[in-house]
Amino acid sequence: MIMPNMATMLAFIVTDAAVEQSWLKKVFSEANDASFNIISVDGDTSTNDTSLILANGMAGNPTIREGTGDAETFRSQLQAVLLSLAQQIVRDGEGATKFVEISIKGAQSVADAKKAAMAVANSSLVKTAFFGQDANWGRILAAVGYSGAEVDADRIELFFDDVQMVRNGVFTGGNAEERGSEVLKRKEFAVTVDLKLGQGEATVYTSDLSYEYVKINADYRT
């Protein structure tokens, strides 16, 4: 079934480097988890997302494996390639006008941080607020609240880029509203929520929910 409007994703990575198979599998899996698996345009997982890597050894280099001199370089470059591809998918998302990094810090666990980040990234209310360039921190905190992650409402902090909107669970006031709104006008910005409970961190990249998203997905056959 070919249906590009479902965000079906096929990634093929090829390299001439000689790389030990088991180690390549491990670092490729890690790089996928840190790239394709942390993006969401609309929360709809496609039926046939695929990511493949081929290392054919044509370069004639000494085989890269765990602990060899080139291992860290190869790993970090592989992660950079996959992250770039994943971010391009979000930037090219159906009707996307914004590219947003959602970072959760201070969660009790990494699992909690991921749950919270995905809940924010997939919230239609949050995504329409991004489209409307509305610094609506309340919708973001609501999504974190229903995500299932452990939250202490009296500790939570929220930032739009470097503008702090919420401290100890309370709106920071002053000119934060105006400064936050300026951030939301940018094409790319970061939302950071610090739960102040532990060391768990996670980042998800997402887009907004626009008229164009509805148009593309409602009328694609007409």
Q: Which stretch binds a second copy (CB under 8 A): 19-27, 75-83, 131-139, 161-169?
A: 131-139
Owner of token pair 């930037």: 91
Cα–Cα distances (Å) from 177 to 25, 61, 99, 136, 212, in that order, read 47, 56, 21, 9, 27
Q: Is 222 in the site for a second copy (CB under 8 A)?
A: yes
Q: Is 46 in the site for a second copy (CB under 8 A)?
A: yes
Q: Which stretch binds a second copy (CB under 8 A): 18-26, 50-58, 61-69, 126-134?
A: 126-134
| 63-68-73-79 Cα dihedral, nearest 10 degrees | 70
Identity of the residue, 55 or 157, whose beta carbon is nearer to a second copy in the bound complex? 157
Q: Which stretch binds a second copy (CB under 8 A): 11-19, 68-76, 185-193, 207-215?
A: 207-215
Measured N-to-C along each axis, helices 124-131 and 110-122 cross at an angle, to the nearest 10 degrees, of: 60
Q: Which stretch binds a second copy (CB under 8 A): 22-30, 83-91, 127-135, 160-168?
A: 127-135
User: Can you give 80-102 as a three-state secondary structure string?
Assistant: HHHHHHHHHHHHCCCCCCCEEEE
d(CA 158, CA 163): 9
The tokens for 136 are: 């609506």
Rounded least distance, CB 24 to a second copy, Å: 28
Size of the site for a second copy (CB under 8 A): 36
d(CA 160, CA 42): 21
Q: Is 156 in the site for a second copy (CB under 8 A)?
A: no
Question: Which of 20, 134, 161, 201 is in the footprint of a second copy by CB under 8 A?
Answer: 134
Q: Give residues 159-178 in contact with a second copy (rule: CB under 8 A).
A: none
Q: Is 34 in the site for a second copy (CB under 8 A)?
A: no
How many other C-beta atoms are found inside a 10 Å radius of the C-beta of residue 48?
Answer: 11
Catalytic-residue membership of 8: yes
Residues binding a second copy (CB under 8 A): 1, 3, 6, 42-47, 122-125, 128-129, 131-132, 134, 138-139, 142-143, 145-146, 209-211, 213-215, 217-222
As annotated, the active-site residues are: 8
